[in-house]
Copies of this chain bind each other. A is one copy, B any other.
């Protein structure tokens, strides 16, 4: 596939940014070995660098992550956190939970159970294994609150995660939520069109007013693979985008928060409580 203008701007941006240390490249390579078809789920190196800088800029003491995968984003964030910081990261896949836990031990983000001596990092990472909603309930019972939340698990549950966190007062007053993939490869544009089409079709009983949805370069079913290796046809993929579009509209109309949808990477929303 030929490199697009956006690809070249991304490479340029990457080349003019301070790289993360080599262990992060190794982790990307390792993920590709363990999950050959789905390793791309991890954030890019440049996004990891951005999230690390965001940590340095905002100094959260307590961070929640939904979606650990192999621990790349967690480690990138941890290295930017202040001394004594903790990341709680939730993962449903038992294999990913186990492997990331091992990596966090090996790289000294958690107390060693192997007796191997390593200099402890400033921040600690705790993996919470299980379904994200169940894990949130457990964390709420422990009365934990978070200065920063990174939403990066199953897209269909973004609204549920978001509501649970706000309804249960798990976000500190000056805390923020960062939600990943909120442009979903551009497919959210199709979601809007589909919703307009559906509304038009139900308004007029003559179905001729329903136009076909916008086709983007991304919507042509490039044969992306899902977590368990199942092929993501255009339609499965589009359904995730529809969930994301619903999430974006939900947040935008929620009177409790302010949101900025940053058109960078695959779309990153920054969400904070409105000021009193």
From B14, B17, B46, B188, A12 is in contact (CB under 8 Å) with B188
Residue of B nearest to A148 (CB): B57
Q: Does A100 contact B (CB under 8 A)?
A: no
When the two chains form their complex, are residues A9 and B263 in contact, meaning their CB atoms are under 8 A apart?
yes
Question: With a CB–CB cut-off of 8 A, which chain B residues contact A267?
Answer: 9, 13
When the two chains form their complex, are residues A260 and B53 in contact, meaning their CB atoms are under 8 A apart?
yes
Instruction: Indicate whether A12 sits within 8 Å of B183 (C-beta atoms), given known contacts A252-B17, A272-B53, A272-B57.
Output: yes
When the two chains form their complex, are residues B263 and A18 in contact, meaning their CB atoms are under 8 A apart?
no
Question: Chain A interface residue count: which class?
Answer: 35 or more
Question: With a CB–CB cut-off of 8 A, which chain B residues contact A176?
Answer: 57
Question: With a CB–CB cut-off of 8 A, which chain B residues contact A259?
Answer: 16-18
When the two chains form their complex, are residues B188 and A46 in contact, meaning their CB atoms are under 8 A apart?
no
When the two chains form their complex, are residues A16 and B248 in contact, meaning their CB atoms are under 8 A apart?
yes
When the two chains form their complex, are residues B8 and A261 in contact, meaning their CB atoms are under 8 A apart?
no
When the two chains form their complex, are residues B58 and A9 in contact, meaning their CB atoms are under 8 A apart?
no
When the two chains form their complex, are residues A16 and B272 in contact, meaning their CB atoms are under 8 A apart?
no
Q: Does A137 contact B (CB under 8 A)?
A: no
Q: Does A199 contact B (CB under 8 A)?
A: no
From B56, B217, B257, B265, A272 is in contact (CB under 8 Å) with B56
When the two chains form their complex, are residues A16 and B57 in contact, meaning their CB atoms are under 8 A apart?
no
Question: With a CB–CB cut-off of 8 A, which chain B residues contact A251?
Answer: 16
When the two chains form their complex, are residues B57 and A249 in contact, meaning their CB atoms are under 8 A apart?
no
| Residues on A facing B (Cβ under 8 Å) | 5-6, 8-10, 12-18, 46, 49-50, 53-54, 56-58, 174, 176, 182-183, 186, 188-189, 192, 216-217, 248-249, 251-252, 257-265, 267, 269-270, 272, 275
9 sampled A-B residue pairs with Cβ under 8 A: A6-B6, A8-B189, A9-B183, A12-B183, A16-B252, A46-B263, A50-B262, A53-B260, A262-B264
Known: A12-B189, A12-B261. 10 other contacts (CB 8 A): A13-B183, A13-B262, A16-B249, A16-B261, A16-B269, A18-B252, A50-B270, A53-B258, A56-B275, A57-B58
